[in-house]
């Protein structure tokens, strides 16, 4: 095997999780060229990954100019890959894969794209390791290539020494020094349906402010500023004093540097939680009712804690399919009151200090 391409579109957490394939592939094929096809906004989480040879940005030519899907498919075809692993397996990536000429064209088994692939896979439903289904299912796609791949690996983010030092200097300039490591708050999810109600999050953050002697940093993007201001107006005065709104990263790599200097991250499950895990930062993740905990709850332990409403009120989920749960998401969130998770949160703070 001389050249292999992995395709993973979608969100940051997906791209980071699928990056484990490169560590597995590198050990099996040490001299192969390993490339990663992703979308531009997810690039920062795989920069400087030593197992990835080249990153290809979706529907761009070699100079970074936007091109059509068919032109992009021709670009990939010209690379003469021996194997293409299409984790995303949507119509666009299936077209690129089918036209590639690769001997091994591996994709998720779907009725509308299965003809694009030489090998298809189906996701497992029950995890067999502490890694969780999201990781196990990704490694499963490598089975057509070899039987020597591991069952589980851990995603990693690779920061350069100068990036870490820049983050330390930035925090020092802001007056955050020594053992005063901040706590990052994942205040907002990737969508409203994945955001723990702010009136409940207020109690979580106020508990954190009382439990720890450290600044609180809020993780959000500029377009969410109005929601952040709404949240801040709800918090008590003492909590507002601990929230450092002046500590804000100007890029995702800069954010990763700051995150690497935090004692922990607490809040909505999503990209920030996954990035923290990949940096070996303790996490306390609050899952949305619509998210399957068993898929994304990897390597649980005293410093990697996850909570889901189903843990406390399983009757609310009985005999309901995914569509029904999505339709009732807001109602389900209303039952996920802070008092349910406070014992776990208090224990988490004890374990990280």
DSSP string across 273-313:
HHHHHHTT--EEEE--TTS-HHHH--S-BTTEEEE-HHHH-
Q: What is the chain's mean pLDDT, rounded? A: 95
pTM of the prediction?
A: 0.94
Instruction: Report, as an integer, the average pLDDT of 14-21.
Output: 97
The rounded distance, in Å, linking the Cα atoms of 142 and 163 is: 33
pLDDT of residue 247: 92
pLDDT of residue 180: 83
pLDDT of residue 295: 83
Whether 3-140 shares its CATH topology with 161-352 is answered yes
3-state SS, residue 55: strand
- The architecture in CATH of the region 161-352 reads 3-Layer(aba) Sandwich (3.40)
Reported as type and span, the H/E element at residue 133 is helix 133-140
Structural domain spans, the chain: 3-140, 161-352
Residues in the chain: 353
Task: Please write the tens of the pLDDT for every residue from 28-46.
Answer: 999 999 999 999 999 999 9
Instruction: Report, as an integer, the average pLDDT of 295-310.
Output: 94
- The architecture in CATH of the region 3-140 reads 3-Layer(aba) Sandwich (3.40)
Neighbouring residues of 347: CB distance < 8 A, sequence distance ≥ 6: 302
| pLDDT surpassing 80 at residue 201 | yes
């Amino acid at each position: 095997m001389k050249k292999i391409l992995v395709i993973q579109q979608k969100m940051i957490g997906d791209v980071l999780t699928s990056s484990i394939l490169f560590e597995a592939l590198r050990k099996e094929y040490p001299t192969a060229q390993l490339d990663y096809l992703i979308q531009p906004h997810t690039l920062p989480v795989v920069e400087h990954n030593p197992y990835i040879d080249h990153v290809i940005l979706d529907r761009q030519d070699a100079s970074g100019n936007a091109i059509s899907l068919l032109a992009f498919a021709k670009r990939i075809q010209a690379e003469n890959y021996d194997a293409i692993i299409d984790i995303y397996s949507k119509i666009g990536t299936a077209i690129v894969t089918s036209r590639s000429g690769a001997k091994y064209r591996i994709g998720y088994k779907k009725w509308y794209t299965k003809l694009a692939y030489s090998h298809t896979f189906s996701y497992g439903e029950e995890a067999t390791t502490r890694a969780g289904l999201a990781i196990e299912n990704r490694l499963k796609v490598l089975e057509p290539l070899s039987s020597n791949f591991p069952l589980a690996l851990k995603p990693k983010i690779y920061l350069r020494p100068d990036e870490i030092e820049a983050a330390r200097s930035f925090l020092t300039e802001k007056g955050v020094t020594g053992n005063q490591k901040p706590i990052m708050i994942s205040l907002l999810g990737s969508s409203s349906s994945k955001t723990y109600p702010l009136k409940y999050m207020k109690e979580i953050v106020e508990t954190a402010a009382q439990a720890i002697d450290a600044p609180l940093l809020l993780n959000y993007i500029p377009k969410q500023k109005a929601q952040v201001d709404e949240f801040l107006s709800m918090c008590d005065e003492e909590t507002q004093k601990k929230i450092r709104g002046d500590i804000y990263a100007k890029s995702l790599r800069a954010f990763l540097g700051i995150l690497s200097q935090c004692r922990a991250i607490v809040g909505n499950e999503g990209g920030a939680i996954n990035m923290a895990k990949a940096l070996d930062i303790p996490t306390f993740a609050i899952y949305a009712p619509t998210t399957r905990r068993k898929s994304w709850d990897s390597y649980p332990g005293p410093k990697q804690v996850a909570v889901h409403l189903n843990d406390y009120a399983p009757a609310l989920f009985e005999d309901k399919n995914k569509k029904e749960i999505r339709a009732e998401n807001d109602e389900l969130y209303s039952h996920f009151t802070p008092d349910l998770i406070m014992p776990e949160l208090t224990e988490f703070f004890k374990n990280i200090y």
